[in-house]
A = this chain, B = another copy of it.
Amino acid sequence: MSENQDKHIASVRHSLAHLLAATVVEMYPGSKNSIGPAIENGFYQDFETPEPISEEDLPKIEARMREKLKTWGKFERREVSPEEARKEFAWNPYKLELIEDFSKDGQQLTFYVSGDFTDLCRGGHVEDSAEINPKAFKLTKISGAYWRGDQSKQQLQRIYGVAFGTPEELKSYLDMMEEAKKRDHRKLGQELDLFVFSELVGSGLPLFTPRGTVLREELAKFAESLRAGSGFERVSIPHITKTELYKVSGHWDKFGDELFLVKSQETSDQFALKPMNCPHHNQIYAARPRSYRDLPIKYFETTTVYRDEKTGELGGLSRVRSISQDDSHAYCRRDQVEEVVGSLIGDVQTLYGTLGLPLRARLSFRDASDKYLGEPELWQQAQDVIRTLAKKNELEYFEAEGEAAFYGPKIDFMATDALGREHQVATVQLDFVQPERFELEFTAEDGNPQRPVMVHCAILGSIERFLSVYIEHTAGRFPVWVAPEQVRILTLNDDKNIVDFATTMAEQARRLGLRVTVDAGNESVGKKIRNAELMKVPYTVVIGTKEVESGQLVPRVRKDIEVHTEHDPRTVDEFLKTVVHETKSRVSKTSL
């Protein structure tokens, strides 16, 4: 969308906020409108009303808005004196307060008049109400709001609307919202039995059920296998440390009051829960002398860090206090930065490619200011390497000057999900400062000590946050390799031969490493199939007398999965072999 288009749709939304104010004040006598701006995708307006308006009222308000819109005409601007303004809004204490504020600052007050409605406003409307498509807006919801956002002040009602240039755009937005609601990972987390919260454990601290743990593990294993393939070695650290560690790293000064502090009741040691892993990993590097021949030294670990966030959204994984990271740290020579960063970019591309999430990269570079630590030529060299690699790896990227951390440039990856929403995911961060602070060294070829360059990288990032994205991206229809339950075997009835066949098949599948269940319950096959569908199981196999006698079966494939071959009957062996193959090669479609 061009800048002009952006500006125009914002003025449409702002104008609709006026129309909404006029309509409510007319329909609910005694109502007082306060403020109402354009926002992303729409607008809102805050009201004091004699009695509450409910969501059921929105359609009739909307209808009346359309009615009024026909005769609404032009938006006419009028400059007024404070006295005139006070007189006009004697009925509305909110406007009076604004008038006082604006005139105190010596601002010129302006009214905008359209139809029969006058509002105190700075402008930013359409010229003529005819520019507003009456079929391209919709009121969506009501919530509470405080006057001027201050909890000690009057509570108001806020009515939200969405608005677009065309009815088609509105429809596609509403469809997307509808789909997003269906895919809400909190809802799916409950329906698919993936994770739970407990009031006794606390908010922001999810507990993963067996099914949710499969998701975590399969995704983490994938990220780990990419690291292992690039020569990273797994290490293992405790979740706490004496706060001294963060005094050396510098995190104590910067983030000390965001830490979870841990108190020993036995000793006077002051501990903290780790909010990141690098200082711990540095202690492993620092424990031995290192030579230029040993580098790059590459550590990885999937481990949980703790951040003491005010948990806004409860019951979800988007923002949690226990954050599991697939974290890695490489310590390398300057001449190895390209190789190390390049292989990490490749790993990021492989993972998100496999998961079907297209990537965009932001190269966060320094600007000319002097807030950056580390030698300028090292920065220059590193940024050149990053840019070269972005091109070489055919990344869709843009450069963001001034966005680098003070300790080094980085690459941030954003993934676009199936609903077109973009999420910050992986990061590759260079660090010139921690090696200094921890006095990390290696003996260079000339025998002198040198500082390694550190490269931090998380591919999944926070596994919890990633799951909130991935569950909504897939709508819980996980590809076979990720699916908590890959195959469900249903029995047609309780005939012993049938149940035995199903049980034997399940045992065979489990020996092959597959995640299989048997539903040999008393319900009808129709009900059993429906249950399997509700749990979004990729493959369902019904076992009846025919299957027992022929040893052949026709697997039912979950609807969303693209099927490459015909649904011919196949033997149990053939079927299981296919599922094993699809799991191992992490395919998202099926060759059945």
- A residues at B contact (CB < 8 Å): 193, 196, 198-202, 205-210, 212-214, 216-217, 233-242, 244-245, 248, 257-267, 269, 271, 273, 279-280, 283-284, 286-288, 293, 299, 304, 306, 308-310, 321-322, 521
Contacts and interface: CB of A to CB of B under 8 A. Distances in A.
A312 to B, nearest CB: 12
A193 B284 CA distance: 10
Given A201-B242, A242-B201, A236 B260 contact: no
Contact of A202 (B213, B233, B242, B258): B242
Contacts of A207: 235-238, 280, 283-284, 287
Contacts of A216: 236
Nearest to A270: B202
Given A236-B212, A283-B196, A202 B322 contact: no
Given A193-B288, A205-B240, A210 B308 contact: no
A552 B293 CA distance: 29
14 contacts: A196-B284, A198-B286, A202-B271, A207-B235, A207-B236, A207-B280, A208-B235, A214-B234, A239-B304, A240-B260, A259-B265, A260-B262, A261-B265, A262-B262
Q: Which of A201, A261, A266 has the most CB of B within 10 A?
A: A201
Contact of A238 (B217, B244, B304): B304
Contacts of A266: 258, 308-310
A213 B283 CA distance: 15
Contacts of A304: 238-239
A266 B205 CA distance: 15
Contacts of A273: 239-240, 262, 273
Given A239-B239, A266-B310, 20 more contacts: A196-B284, A198-B287, A200-B244, A200-B248, A201-B238, A202-B271, A207-B283, A208-B236, A209-B235, A209-B284, A209-B287, A210-B233, A210-B234, A216-B236, A238-B304, A240-B322, A260-B264, A260-B271, A264-B308, A265-B308
A241 B201 contact: yes
Copies in the complex: 2
B258 A205 contact: no
A306 to B, nearest CB: 7
A199 B239 CA distance: 15
A483 to B, nearest CB: 15
B309 A238 contact: no
Contacts of A287: 196, 198, 207, 209
Contacts of A288: 193
Q: Interface centre among A212, A273, A288, A521, by most B CB within 10 Å?
A: A273
A258 B259 CA distance: 22
B238 A322 contact: yes
A210 B233 CA distance: 6
Contacts of A309: 266
A268 to B, nearest CB: 12
A235 B213 contact: yes
B234 A201 contact: no
A213 B200 contact: no
A565 B283 CA distance: 44
Contacts of A271: 202, 260
Nearest to A299: B210
Nearest to A274: B201
A243 to B, nearest CB: 9
Contacts of A209: 235, 284, 287
Contacts of A198: 245, 283, 286-287
A198 B245 CA distance: 9
A216 B235 CA distance: 10
Give the one of A216, A308, A309 with max B CB within 10 A.
A308
Given A213-B234, A240-B273, A201 B280 contact: yes
Contacts of A269: 202
Nearest to A202: B242
B261 A263 contact: yes
A176 B33 CA distance: 88
A237 B208 contact: yes
A237 B271 CA distance: 21
Nearest to A297: B210
Nearest to A287: B196
A263 B261 CA distance: 5
A374 to B, nearest CB: 23
A330 B531 CA distance: 26
B200 A245 contact: yes
Contacts of A260: 240, 262-265, 271
Given A213-B235, A309-B266, A242 B284 contact: no
A289 to B, nearest CB: 12
A260 B267 CA distance: 11
Contacts of A238: 201, 205-207, 304, 321-322
Nearest to A307: B266
Contacts of A265: 257-261, 308
Q: Which of A200, A269, A280, A283 has the most CB of B within 10 A?
A: A200
A322 B239 contact: yes
Contacts of A244: 199-200
Contacts of A310: 266-267
Contacts of A205: 238, 240-241
